[in-house]
Amino acid sequence: MADTSPTRVDLASIPQGEAPSLALGPLDGRYREASAPLVNHLSEAALNRDRLHVEVEWFIHLTRNSVVPGAGPLDAGQEEALRAIVTSFDAAAAAELADIEKVTVHDVKAVEYFIGRRLPGMDLERLKPLVHFGCTSEDINNLSYALGIKGAVRDVWLPAARRLVGAIEDLARDSRSVAMLSRTHGQPATPTTLGKEMAVTAHRLSRQLRRIEATEFLGKINGATGTYAAHYASVPSADWEQVARSFVEGLGLSWNPLTTQIESHDWQAELYSDIARFNRILHNFCTDVWSYISIGYFAQVPVAGATGSSTMPHKVNPIRFENAEANLEISSSLLDVLASTLVTSRWQRDLTDSSSQRNIGVAFGHSLLAVSNVLKGLQRLDVAGAAIAADLEDNWEVLGEAIQMVMRAEAVAGTAGLDDPYERLKDLTRGRRVDAARMREFVSGLGLGPEAEQRMLGLTPSTYTGIADRLVDHLGS
């Protein structure tokens, strides 16, 4: 049979800049807008810029403190020119660095050569040996990753996560008094309020944010096996631990005094576990909201011009929450792999962490995308108060708990004829619907004391919510 497949353009031959949809991953294609803020912190270009920053600051740190004999302080103009290597890092500089790496086949060595090329113009060619002095590549990389991750967390991910939690808190406060039927094991249960249930999620997420906010970003600069061997061999008079500590802390990081060739990455594993836990709590929220939408507790506000289904025009699908679920699962899986992989290194060094860490931006990107989608989804929700109230009215049997507990209390107080309260309510309510009239008839025939009977006759599913509305006040505590 003849092959009737049409001849197709080789899409891989088209420059990516001319067609963003050619991106292999959705974060750099379809979802670029949502993940773009992370590019300034966790992209390859950002990593190289941070490497330049670390190398330049190490050079300045050594000269300012006259650590290496003959390399005294620079003048202000020279320091400014060195730092301009970082602040002026643009697409052309990134391309030049990439060309150098093609020759070196080593990313950090390319950074060293990139800086060395610029020293003659600063009248610093004599100090070219001071670039990357005493450093192994991991000295530069661990600090660069720490700076990039810190920026991504504090400047991008945390602000987005806080906005989302704030939106859930607003929903909790606005609906604090909206009585709602609970469902334990999927079955009608003791009523709550919609606001209290939203507050539970906001409270859980806020706890994780506090853990993430307290992250300690560690770094080291102590040589090929963490012993300062080359440092003391070359300049034995220097206090290299103090030099290293003051440098790392000067970058805004916490100094790790005990490492192998690599900084152990334990802080990264801790951070990724916390973000993954945040993701999973948010995933639970998405599935709950999706379910509430499906039973009519929330109405979705249609977007003008949008299509819910290609064939069923009536549909408004909860796509924001479904999209978020998928992206939270992808992010959490990647974060789990990073957290488990990065804490392990064979003897003093292996290279598994190098490949793993290149996916940090992907893990953060899918989480950030999910956060964005949930926030957009919440902005298109209306509380369907009438549907929620109708569901309560159809489930008077949920008052069985309250009535049998009152019977217990009355029996303890000495009221006669209130034996086996649980069994009597079970006979009335188990597996069957009970309406208001039948429940009140049952209460009237129990022989409760006058005050207790009036209290139970006045109770309805919508008023049987305990202090649910007041519990919302615990938000922020």
Tokens linked to 15? 């420059």
With beta carbons less than 8 A apart as the criterion, state whether 38 and 152 touch. Answer: yes
5, 185, 314, 477: the active-site residue = 185
Token couple for 393: 């009215």
Per-residue burial over 67-89, b if 16 or more Cβ lie within 10 Å, else e, is bbeebeebeeebbebbeebbeeb
Catalytic residue among 21, 66, 309, 354: 309
Task: Tell me, yes or no, if 185 is annotated catalytic.
Answer: yes
Q: Which residue in 201, 322, 327, 205 sits closest to 274, CA to CA? A: 205
- The answer to whether residue 309 is catalytic is yes
- Which position has the token pair 């406060």? 173
> How is residue 129 written in tokens?
């040996």
Helix axes 400-412, 436-444, angle to 10 degrees: 10
Residues acting as catalytic residues: 185, 309
